[in-house]
């Protein structure tokens, strides 16, 4: 393992990310939920209870997090977003309404980003450095646009367990893994069905076991452990205990770097100027260019 991979001799890096979408995300994912107040209240729980529980847990273990907030949430929960900022967590942008970039062209994607970016800057008094596409995708050329607008890093794609550069954009990607998210285990609504086909609500003990096992493996191999959490999911009275126990396990090691996405992106860029040869993102771009 490269001993210079992480600062101060740390063996692995941990980045906790939080999607504070209120009910916007599920409206994008499941349009049939529109107007169904009982169902929408499941996702509004995050603003009511989940955010505060998450902030308390992060403070207890002195762990920073990078929160992704759509512009509309910054408008409707202005003081709550400012409290997250005052707690010295990073806040990144996720469009204006958790737009589905799969159905938008490049110009519409730019407009969604710009509106969300401006609203967030107005709320916290400075521009975001991080971005997350709610559905994970974007049109060719969007990564370069993000860099031109001052975005240093994204956590939207997958395909690795270390940071990498988007092709020609100099935008750092902190890749995700489904098994390091709370939604695939716990998201649930009876009608309309979320997820389609149901069922979900996994065993808390087994999910915690999975996350601990993954953390041990990421730490062993010197990787970047990026979690994706949601206040309405992990922030319930019972599930917040899973996160607290995981954080306690991580904190028990003295060679883990807990950092925000911006900190990891800055560190990675200061020590590398290109992806390793044959990286999947480079192969994808080469084939995409041939097919254009």
pLDDT of residue 94: 97
- Higher-confidence position of 167 and 216: 216
Give residue 116's pLDDT: 98
Instruction: Work out the burial of residue 213: count CB atoms within 10 Å of its CB; fewer than 13 is exposed, 13-18 middle, 19 or more buried.
Output: exposed
Between 29-43, 48-62, 78-92, 213-227, the lowest mean confidence (pLDDT) is in: 29-43
Which has more confidence, 169 or 164? 164
Report the CATH number of the 7-291 domain. Answer: 3.20.20.370
Decide if pLDDT at 61 tops 50.
Answer: yes
pLDDT at 161: 96
> The tokens of 46 are what?
């995050």
Instruction: Grade residue 282 by pLDDT with cuts at 50, 70 and 90.
Output: confident
198 versus 203: the higher-pLDDT residue is: 203
Instruction: Report the range of poorest mean pLDDT among 16-30, 133-147, 223-237, 274-288.
Output: 274-288
At 2, the pLDDT band (50, 70, 90 cuts) reads very low
Q: Above 60 in pLDDT, residue 1?
A: no
Over pLDDT 70: what percentage of the chain? 96
3-class SS string, the chain: CCCCCCHHHCCEEEEEEEECCCCHHHHHHCHHHCCCHHHHHHHHHHHHHHHHHHHHHHHHCCCCEEEEECHHHHHHCHHHHHHHHHCCCEEEECCCCCCCHHHCCHHHHHHHHHHHHHHHHHHHCCCCCEECCCCCCCCCCHHHHHHHCCCCEECCCCCCCCCEECCCCCCEECCCCHHHECHHHHCCECCCCECCCCCCCCCHHHHHHHHHHHHHHHHHHCCEEEEEECHHHHCCCCCHHHHHHHHHHHHCCCCEEECCHHHHHHHHHHHCCCCCCCCHHHHHHHHHHHHC
Is a pLDDT exceeding 90 seen at residue 284?
Answer: no
Position 121 scores a pLDDT of 98
Hey, what are 158's tokens? 């997958």
Give the per-residue pLDDT at 86: 98
Question: Is 189 in contact with 42 (CB distance < 8 Å)?
Answer: yes
- Average the pLDDT over 169-174 and give the result: 93
Task: Calculate mean pLDDT across residues 193-213.
Answer: 87
Mean pLDDT in residue range 170-190 = 93
Mean of the per-residue pLDDT values of the chain:
93
- Closest by CA position to 173, among listed 191, 189, 154, 190: 154
């Amino acid at each position: 393992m490269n001993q210079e991979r992480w600062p101060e001799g740390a063996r692995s890096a941990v980045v906790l990310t939080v999607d504070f979408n209120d009910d916007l995300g599920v409206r994008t994912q499941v349009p049939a939920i529109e107007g169904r107040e009982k169902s929408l209240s499941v996702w509004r729980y995050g603003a009511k209870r989940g955010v505060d529980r998450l902030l308390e847990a992060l403070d207890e273990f002195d762990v920073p997090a990078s929160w992704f907030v759509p512009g509309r949430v910054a408008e409707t929960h202005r003081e709550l977003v400012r409290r997250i900022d005052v707690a010295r967590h990073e806040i990144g942008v996720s469009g204006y309404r958790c737009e589905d970039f799969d159905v938008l062209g490049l110009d519409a994607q730019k407009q969604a980003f710009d509106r969300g970016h401006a609203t967030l800057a107005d709320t916290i008094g400075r521009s975001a450095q991080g971005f997350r596409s709610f559905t994970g995708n974007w049109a060719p050329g969007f990564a370069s646009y993000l860099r031109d607008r001052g975005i240093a890093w994204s956590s939207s794609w997958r395909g690795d367990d270390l940071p990498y550069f988007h092709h020609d954009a100099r935008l750092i990607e902190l890749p995700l893994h489904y098994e390091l998210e709370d939604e695939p285990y716990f998201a649930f609504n009876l009608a309309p069905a979320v997820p389609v086909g149901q069922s979900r609500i996994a065993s808390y003990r087994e999910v915690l076991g999975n996350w601990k096992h993954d953390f041990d493996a990421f730490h062993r191999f010197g990787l970047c452990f990026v979690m994706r959490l949601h206040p309405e999911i992990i922030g319930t009275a019972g599930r917040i205990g899973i996160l607290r126990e995981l954080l306690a396990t991580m904190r028990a090691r003295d060679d883990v770097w807990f950092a925000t996405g911006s900190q990891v992106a800055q560190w990675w860029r200061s020590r590398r100027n290109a992806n390793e040869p044959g990286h999947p993102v480079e192969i994808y771009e080469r084939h995409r260019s041939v097919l254009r």
